[in-house]
Structure 1
């Protein structure tokens, strides 16, 4: 049950840090907070505040961080925000903000983190700032902001759920972006990388989300430390490069719903990496035998989806170290084998889908080796 904030804090004029995130507050942000002129941090995120961004905030000239994300705040971002010269972090994500992004916002020389995602904002982005964190998801963008190629400190870039069309430009492939750890450009109309480049230059990359675009050509090759790679729902084609076996820290790999073909590479010791938790190859044109193997040490693999491909032959029994499997789907293939009773050896297995194959024989009890 929530409540209105009211004027109860107005007398705390020496307060420097106000954190009321996720407190179930609602109604307009009270103007009495304008009396707290010593505030450095204002955190009102994850409430149900309504109304416009209050004008009293321009009086908080010492403000370095403002978090209003995940509320119901509406209206425009006004130009007076450019007067908050000490501000370093602005988080306005997931509200109902409208109108143009004011140019004055881009003159805040200390600004490091900017999150305007999931609003109804628009406007030209002409920035001469160096960000650590930049999220402009769902901001009605139609092209890549040109200033991104000049960034040297950027660690997270989120341009997802826009209308960005065409190739990823050359400046975004700039080798100066060596601190980039997270890139999310999913849910756009992107057709490929500059000059069809497939070896990506971001050496610190940990997360790449390029799903739900119009990407064509071969699967991009990533640095070996990537932990999350989602290229699903594109038009990627060709064979998977052997270099995918270099993803030694991968946790999530989703290549589903593309036109990928050939045999999935057999990596030394089994399934890419012992760290992998989920592998999704659904709805491609892979052939050969099902590549289900685990590393010699106990694997963390929990979910695999090989369905809607052209895998054939017999199922190769995975090493007994696949003990954490929970979901297994190899339906809609051309597998010809006896019923795999050995699946009963996996104690956590909850879902097995095998339809539309050529299994035969008796459905019997799982076989156990001596000592199990």
Structure 2
């Protein structure tokens, strides 16, 4: 344990006993070390309460009692430590309320009270600590946070959302950005006041305070969720682009149902595919007919060459093939003329009838 007579070391400025196995309580006599600037008793097995006499260490800048077994409440006398910059009470068994006197620590930069058994509301006076840049109150039993009427800027930090608050008041600040959808994890929230800020975007569906909500005078837009329609209109005033089934607000433009949306998408696609299919079938039909026509032409090419092309050329082919209708190519005689055998240049053999002169 820490000897009691160490309180007589009046000129001592730094006392670091961290990472030992010190047992027992913190001697109240340490409050006599008025020149002390740093006291570090962290990571020991110190038990018992925090002596109120530590409030006399007016020159101290760092006080670290973290990772011990300290019990009891935080003494309000610590509010007298106006030169204190770093206060670490992490991971103890400290209970009770956070004293509002801590607001008098004007020089405080970091305040770590996490992993204790603190309960009740978080004093709104903490918002008056102008130099405070780090505040950790996680893993306690705190149920109320009021930081209204400060000059808080930036977005709503996620760390606030993981605390089991029943009451959260961040009104009359300069908070901006969207309302986090993670508000859904705050299942214990009963009263929520985010009014008079610069919040924008839509109200998340996960936002479900049990008793009271105030989102007025922000820049919110879109529909007011139906489960909030039971609230009066005042908590939503001052947001020009909100709509919903609440008195004083325009009804939201009707949105088509999913079935209508699907039909508007599917019908044009089906129509396009139908036209495409018809066009493809017509193309195939034309192609088949064209191939049939070409086949017939190929099959009867000599006949068409005789009938369709220059008659003189066709006649000359016949004259050459029959050697001017020589009797050697004669086949027979009909009622209107003689029939001759002719082999065309293509190799095909045909019968050619030469009319009698009297029938010409």
**Which TM-score bucket, shorter chain as reference?**
0.3 to 0.5
Q: Report the TM-score, using the length of structure 1 for normalisation.
A: 0.44
Q: Which has the higher helix share?
A: 2
Q: Report the TM-score, using the length of structure 2 for normalisation.
A: 0.46
State the structure with more CA Rg.
2
